Amino acid sequence: MTQHNHAPIIEKGDRKTLLASTLGYAMDGLDIMILAFALILIKAEFGLTDAEGGMIQTITLIGTVIGGIFFGMLADKYGRVRVFNWTILLFSLFTGLAAISTSAEMFTVFRFIAGLGLGGEFGIGMTLVAETWPAKKRSRATAVVAIGFQVGIVLAALVSLLSPYIGWHGMFLIGALPALLVWWTRRNLQEPEIWLQIKKENHNKISIKPLFKDTRTTLTTLGLVIATSVQNFGFHGIMIWMPTMLAKEHNFTLSGTFYWTLITTIGMVIGTLTFGASSDKFGRRPTYIFFLLVSAAFVWIYFQQSNYYVLMFLGAILGFFVNGMMGGYGALLSEHYPTEARSSAQNIIFNVGRGIAGFAPLIIGTLAMQYSISYALGLISGVYLLSALAFIFLIPETKGKLLD
């Protein structure tokens, strides 16, 4: 689809691109959250402390940084669809191999390599959608992709219900199934017209210079790294440790944790769709600032609660604000950089943020050993204020911008 600023027409190929990117991100969510639900079992089998368990997730997320940078550059050079398929195959294969781990060290190595693929998938999928959907619907389209992650969370929660029968080893074998998606994408997806034009003009050289071409752009890149770091810090800190907190501090059963995840995920889906529509209507900056300020207040309030039903009900509101913001990052990151560096920018910025935030599980685990998991999670409220400041002072508005 050609980029239009009026009367946008959504073609069949655009919908296939949206579906593939959404499914890819769903498999990303499945992979990340299987570890969250299996962490208690893995710690017990290998005799790990909370901090050591958090380190496994941290190393996985560090892998996403390296993979994001590497595969993002390859996608700008060799094509979005081709490299998108490579990333899915990589993280699917090594998620499955993690199931045969006989030591914590072997498991961690497999998780690191899976992280390489996970890091590449996100930005390439978002770039595919941003480059094929019209400016007026770009944020809403990337919000749909972001919902894929919530679908992955629900799938991981369902898989966790099988853990008494298949153990954590079986859970990770199921995590290898996303490889089947590649069979479909290879037959149904085409490269975006805007990228093909850049390739034809021989402008698709590997370079990250567009991220730092002048002072204004450099400050924008810095602001976006802060924003993605906070987004990932909050999400991974909360979602990785919530199943453990609910079971350990509030005596939630396995089914209780599943229902909390389901309710919270429903809030995430509604929040993501609301954020995407609001961002297209009111602008990127004001929507982000509002969600960040509410998140800062609500996270602190939420983790002071102890009642079973209050935790369940407010979980939906927590998910609405904390993860709703994911609905805007695909459009936001795409609109600040040119086509020849767009996939690199998406993956570098988001995954550097992911890598910085990779220390969240470790930090939360370490603080939990001194205080409590709920107290440690409540402290996350402060980081949302930092992101709000980045949007106020560093990140310009890009609503309705045509891609170049």
Instruction: Tell me which of 84-88, 204-208, 226-230, 350-354 is least confident.
Output: 204-208
Residue 348 confidence (pLDDT):
87
- pLDDT-based confidence at residue 185 (cuts at 50, 70, 90): confident
Residue 14 confidence (pLDDT):
75
Task: Give 174-184 pLDDT, tens digit per residue.
Answer: 988 888 877 78
Whether 153 and 67 have beta carbons less than 8 Å apart is answered as no
The length of the chain, given as a count of residues: 404
- Note the CATH architecture for domain 12-189+198-393: Up-down Bundle (1.20)
How far, in Å, are 80, 126, 147, 162 from residue 21 at the CA level? 11, 7, 10, 27
Angstrom distance (rounded) from CA 118 to CA 75: 14
Whether residue 309 is predicted with pLDDT greater than 50 in this model: the reply is: yes
pTM over 0.85: no
Joined tokens for residue 385: 């204020």
Whether 37 and 171 have beta carbons less than 8 Å apart is answered as yes
Joined tokens for residue 79: 């094509």
- pLDDT-based confidence at residue 242 (cuts at 50, 70, 90): confident
Q: For the chain, what are the domain ranges? A: 12-189+198-393
Task: State phi, psi for 385 to the nearest 5 degrees.
Answer: -65, -35
Joined tokens for residue 329: 């990052």
Q: Rank 4-8, 200-204, 233-237, 296-300 by mean pLDDT and report only the highest.
A: 296-300
Task: State phi, psi for 3 to the nearest 5 degrees.
Answer: -70, 125
Q: Within a 13 Å sphere around the CA of 155, how many CA atoms are in the beta-carbon half?
A: 21
Task: Give 324-355 pLDDT, tens digit per residue.
Answer: 998 888 889 889 988 888 888 888 898 888 77
Q: Output the CA torsion sign for 357, 358, 364, 366.
A: negative
